[in-house]
């Protein structure tokens, strides 16, 4: 088959083996391929960046947190086991990629999806759903499973050689592994979700944030903060984030916003940092019972002995206040953990 010249394709890339192979299959046909990957607080571009470096395929990174959160409030197809809206997530990504395809002169979009590899999000019904709701039905090619899917316009027009595509289905990856050897691809990640929305604990934190959040716009800082520390809900208006490690402490400290938040630590001994997002005190305002409770909880994660009195530093803006609190017993506030 003689292909049309100068065909350009834009591919969604997760960085996994299937994404890599789908692009290499098309590049072997002489198609000019470029990848796009998306970034939110729930998943990032790290694996895609590595794949781009390994293969030499150009990669475009797009931050989509705002549009993603709008979709996440009420995904039409619902959630998976946790807060993962897989079908509507894919629809959104294809919609955004399709817009770029049209604006930047690509001929079609493609992905590494394999029919039946994931029973809920990669079956023929879900793929049809994604195409329909993305607004780009007929413009999405899945090179690894194309020959068991309806022929696309791109194949009919000679932009892609259908005979050089594949008809893989199911969860076995034997065919892909053999293909990888043929392409000389040896460094690729093990198959895994990579999305924090599939994690039960992270999903609980996100649900709590969404339930207690005021307004329609979510701060990216508050969303990224969900990844660090222990999250404890004191009341409807007060949540605290307690560092669990040096990494947590460093991240929590870096996200502290003077004038907006409260920042708590022990006044004299090593221990965790505690952030109270949005809890800043006005000049002359007395500390609430919730802030004193936050200071007490913070003391409980230090080496101070339970039942003793600890001096805690409470920072609000440029003002430091020292408050004496009783060090709680281990696990005393476990029921407040999100």
Q: So what's the architecture of 8-196 in CATH?
A: 3-Layer(aba) Sandwich (3.40)
d(Cα 215, Cα 278) in Å, to the nearest integer? 14
pLDDT at 216: 76
Contacts of 24 (CB under 8 A, 6+ apart): 55, 183, 185
Is the pLDDT score of 2 beyond 70? no
All CATH 3.40.50.620 domain ranges of the chain, comma separated, are: 8-196
Backbone angles phi, psi at 267, to 5 degrees: -70, -25
Is the pLDDT score of 1 beyond 60? no
pLDDT at 193: 65
Residue 5: pLDDT band by 50, 70, 90 thresholds? Answer: low
In SS3 terms, the chain reads as CCCCCCCEEEEECCCCHHHHHHHHHHHHCCCEEEEEEEEECCECCHHHHHHHHHHCCCEEEEECHHHHHHHHHCCCCCCCCCCCCHHHHHHHHHHHHHHHHHHHCCCEEECCCCECCCCCCCCHHHHHHHHHHHCCCCCEECCCCHHHCCCCHHHHCCCCCHHHCCCCECCCCHHHHHHHHHHCCCCCCCCCCCCHHHCHHHHHHHHHHHHHCCCCCCCHHHHHHCCCCEEEEEECCEEEEECCCHHHHHHHHHHCCCCCCEEEEECCCCCCCEEECCCCCCCCCCCCHHHHHHHHHHHHCCCCCCCCEEEEEEEECCEEEEEEEECCCCCCCHHHEC
pLDDT at 6: 87
For 142-178, how does the pLDDT look when each residue is reduced to its tens digit (9 = 90+)?
A: 999 999 999 999 999 999 999 999 999 998 999 999 9
pLDDT at 4: 60
For 107-128, how does the pLDDT look when each residue is reduced to its tens digit (9 = 90+)?
A: 999 999 999 887 666 788 899 9
Mean pLDDT of 187-197: 82
- Tokens 């916003």 correspond to 257
For 207-239, how does the pLDDT look when each residue is reduced to its tens digit (9 = 90+)?
A: 999 999 887 778 999 999 999 999 999 999 999
Mean pLDDT of 316-335: 94
d(Cα 264, Cα 272) in Å, to the nearest integer? 9
| Burial of 97: CB neighbours in 10 Å, binned 0-12, 13-18, 19+ | buried
For 246-305, how does the pLDDT look when each residue is reduced to its tens digit (9 = 90+)?
A: 999 999 999 999 989 999 999 999 999 999 999 998 877 888 999 999 999 999 999 999
Question: What pTM was computed for the model?
Answer: 0.90
Cβ atoms 116, 175 nearer than 8 A: no
For 63-73, how does the pLDDT look when each residue is reduced to its tens digit (9 = 90+)?
A: 999 999 999 99
309 - beta bridge partners? 326
Is the pLDDT score of 192 beyond 70? no
- Average pLDDT over the chain reads 93
β-bridge pairing 262-266 and 309-316: antiparallel
Cβ atoms 290, 240 nearer than 8 A: no
Mean pLDDT of 316-331: 94
């Amino acid at each position: 088959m003689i292909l049309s010249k100068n065909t350009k394709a834009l591919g969604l890339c997760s960085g996994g083996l299937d994404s890599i192979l789908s692009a290499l299959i098309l590049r072997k046909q002489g198609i000019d391929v470029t990848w796009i990957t998306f970034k939110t607080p729930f998943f990032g571009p790290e694996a895609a960046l590595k794949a781009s470096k390994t293969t030499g395929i150009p990669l475009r990174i797009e931050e989509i947190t705002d549009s993603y959160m709008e979709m996440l409030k009420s995904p039409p197809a619902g959630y998976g086991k946790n807060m993962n809206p897989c079908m509507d997530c894919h629809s959104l990504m294809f919609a955004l990629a399709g817009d770029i395809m049209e604006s930047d002169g690509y001929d079609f979009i493609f992905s590494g999806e394999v029919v039946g590899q994931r029973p809920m999000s990669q079956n023929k019904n879900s793929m049809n759903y994604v195409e329909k709701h993305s607004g780009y039905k007929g413009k999405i090619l899945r090179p690894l499973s194309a020959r068991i899917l309806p022929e696309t316009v791109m194949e009919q027009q000679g932009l892609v050689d259908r005979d050089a595509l594949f008809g893989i289905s199911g969860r076995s990856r034997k065919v892909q592994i053999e293909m990888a050897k043929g392409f000389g691809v040896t460094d690729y990640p093990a198959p895994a979700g990579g999305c924090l929305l599939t994690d039960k604990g992270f999903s609980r934190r996100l649900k709590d944030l969404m339930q207690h959040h005021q307004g329609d716009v979510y701060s990216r800082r508050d969303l990224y903060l969900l990844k660090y520390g222990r999250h404890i809900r004191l009341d409807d208006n007060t949540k605290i984030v307690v560092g669990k490690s040096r990494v947590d402490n460093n991240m929590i400290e870096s996200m502290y916003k003077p004038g907006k938040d409260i920042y708590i630590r022990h006044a004299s001994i090593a221990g965790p940092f505690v952030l109270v997002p949005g809890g800043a005190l006005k000049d002359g305002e007395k500390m609430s019972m919730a802030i004193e409770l936050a200071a007490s909880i913070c003391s409980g994660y230090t080496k101070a002995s339970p039942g003793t009195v600890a001096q805690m530093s409470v920072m609000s803006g440029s003002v430091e206040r020292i408050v004496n609190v009783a060090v709680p017993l281990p696990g005393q506030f476990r029921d407040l953990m999100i």
